Amino acid sequence: MPLSKAKAITAGRNATQGVAAGRAEDAGVHRVVHETNLSLPAQVLQQQVFGYPNIINKIHSWISLIPLTDAQLGKRHQVGCLGNLAWSQRQALESAIHVARQVSNRVKGLESSSNDDGEKHQNVPSIELLTWIVKDVGSDTFGPYVLDYFKHVDMSTLKRMGLSLVNSTASPVDSALFTVCVNAVASKFLTTVLMADDYGEQLTKEIRKRIFQCCTAAQRALKEIRLLTPPSLALLQALLCGIFLHQRFGDTQLCSDLTRTACRVCIDLGLPDAVNQQQATEEEYYCVMWCYMMDRSYAWKLGRSRYFIDFNARAGSDSLPRNFPVSELLHIYITLAQVQDSIIPFLGDASSHREDVPSFYSVREQLLPQMEIIRSKIDAISSPSPMWRGLDVHSEIAAMNFAYHSVRTTLLHVSQVVPNQHLGAEELYLQSARQELSALVTMCLSSDNEGTAAFLHWTLLFWPLTACFVLFSNAVAASDLDDFTLLKAVANVLLPSSTVSQPVATLQRLFQDLVSLAQGFFTEPTSAITAGDDMAHLYPNGPPWPGIIPATSSHDVDPSDLMHQHMISSGNFEIEFLDSLGGIEMEPTFEGLVGNPMSSITIPDALSEPGSGD
């Protein structure tokens, strides 16, 4: 049952007070660290600084069970690997993995039925709409953050494609490619228009209807692309448009297959070399960078191999000519992809990487400061500004925080499975997982269930479920009521969006099942109450983790309260502590392309076979 607006705001303020109290407590920990002799053995330091003499044993009793990718959900785990946990705890953890494996298979198997009612559909946007797109995208109507999501198909190319379709001068092959691109860009443009201004209920309804029509036309045209289509820039652009379209509707497996095909086309065209040699056009550059980011993200999420093995994204971004500016928002995601690229080789079975421990030390020492830099860049752009015009700033920031902590949680996880990890890394590991799910709760505060579902498709279905299992395992093994409460909060706030998205509904059920499995380890009554009621009951002064407002997404929330919470959650209050440890700063997709999900998406016949991009 959703909270009222007043109740949500009150809960948010309570959370703010709780975060402030947490900061004061953290500051005390920082002082202790600086006053402690860091030459003492690690075990003594943990007793002095953290008060958790058994924290390593607690985490290491279950960490080997945590899946870092969807592929690892399919592996069988032996109960004997769970250390000194009680039998009931072992059974709960094993059951959680079994349930998640079934959920993952159901999500992969989802294929929405078509809503084609037999009516004649318009496949080509009107010349008036094309003129509007070219005029506004080339002006200062929108902020620079959203404009980066149009640059893989520049306006001169869009105009040429659109006129070819209007005048029926394109070949059958090109017609399919152009139809995908023009309609995908049109749907994104109209979504951006709705984000930038208030057009009233009736006009907004008509614009949403047109968005649906554009998405449907792009979907049908994507099905017409055959695997034997010769490589071309238009083919690459159509594939990328198809990826953006289908991911915002939650079809992650199809998008992974389309990404591999897009990467193959990109390599066949020689575009990665052209980018590194500064010989690429702006739209070629953006096509290459999107291929790189998506390839790394799907390899990270699904546990598959990378396709762009030899491409140096750092060289590509550093060599971009000055007249091809990249916004800070997209640059953050490119940098996160570079971090993913460095960690992917270590995502397999930890026991198989023992010979690689020295190399991971080197990687870790490079990535920790890099993540701190990314954190500072996120903080720098997290306030509302004209740069965000055309995007939902609050949801975008929450999604960016979710992505950041997904990468950070995995980095800290790998740090646990090799010896001599940083002092305090265990607690940072848990805190990062908490902040990842806290960002998810913040994302669900919007009253627009369809818009929230689209963001969830670019976060919850786009990144691994590692944090979910980290907090579940800690709740069961350590009887951590805070982590259990956060899992319940996630299960509750996903409910509204689950009514408009089957993938979200499936994952909501996973969180609900995890709550049911863990509930027996707590004596606190856990009846069916909302996330905000739950946390207000357990934490009258606000939850003990930063970055969360205990409210559901079915009612409006005061934007000032939301942004105040964002500002608090993204503070740098742990820098001093982390500097002393050589660690990274605590806190916070490609979400700029999310929009109104349409109710029916079918898989393109010619591109739906797994591995078709090989």
Q: Which residue is associated with the tokens 């149009």?
A: 150
Q: What mean pLDDT do residues 483-490 have? A: 97
Answer yes or no: are the C-beta atoms of 587 and 569 closer than 8 Å: yes
Angle between helices 172-196 and 233-247 (to 10 degrees): 40
CA–CA distance, 396 with 469 (Å, rounded to integer): 24
Instruction: Tell me the C-alpha distance between 291 and 306, whole Å.
Output: 11
Q: What is the separation of C-alpha 515 from the centre of its chain, rounded to a whole number of angstroms?
A: 22
Q: What is the pLDDT of residues 209-253, one digit of tens each?
A: 999 999 999 999 999 998 789 999 999 999 999 999 999 899 999
Confidence of residue 358 (pLDDT cuts 50, 70, 90): low
Q: What single string gives the DSSP state of each residue in 216-267?
A: HHHHHHHHT--TTPPP-HHHHHHHHHHHHHHHTTT-HHHHHHHHHHHHHHHH
**334 and 289 Cβ atoms separated by less than 8 Å:** yes
From CA 522, how far away is CA 243, in angstroms rounded? Answer: 43
Q: Is 200 left (phi over 0), alpha (psi -120 to 50) or beta?
A: left
Confidence band of 594 (pLDDT split at 50, 70, 90): very low
Distance CA 348, CA 51 (A): 32
The confidence score (pLDDT) of residue 317 equals 54
* Separation of alpha carbons 478 and 99, rounded Å: 21
Predicted confidence (pLDDT) at residue 10 exceeds the cutoff of 70: no
3-state SS class at 183: helix
Secondary structure (H, E, C), 494-517: CHHHHCCCHHHHHHHHHHHHHHHH
**Of 22, 19, 32, 18, which is closest to residue 424 (Cα–Cα)?**
32
What pLDDT, in 10s, does the model give residues 392-443?
999 999 999 999 999 999 999 988 766 555 556 788 999 999 999 999 999 9
Mean pLDDT in the chain? 76
**Per-residue pLDDT at 83:** 62
551 residue type, one letter: A
Task: Please state, in angstroms and as integers, the Cα–Cα distance from residue 226 to each residue in 218, 288, 398, 612, following that order.
Answer: 15, 22, 38, 11
Residue of 509 and 118 predicted with greater confidence: 509
- The DSSP secondary structure of 530-574, one letter per residue, reads -HHHHHHHH-TT--SSSS-----SSS---HHHHHHHHHHHT--TT
The Cβ of residue 11 has, within 10 Å, a number of other Cβ atoms equal to 27
Q: Which tens digits make up the pLDDT trace of 109-163? A: 665 444 444 444 568 899 999 999 999 998 889 999 999 999 999 999 999 999 9
Q: Compare 102 and 191 and report the one with higher pLDDT.
A: 191
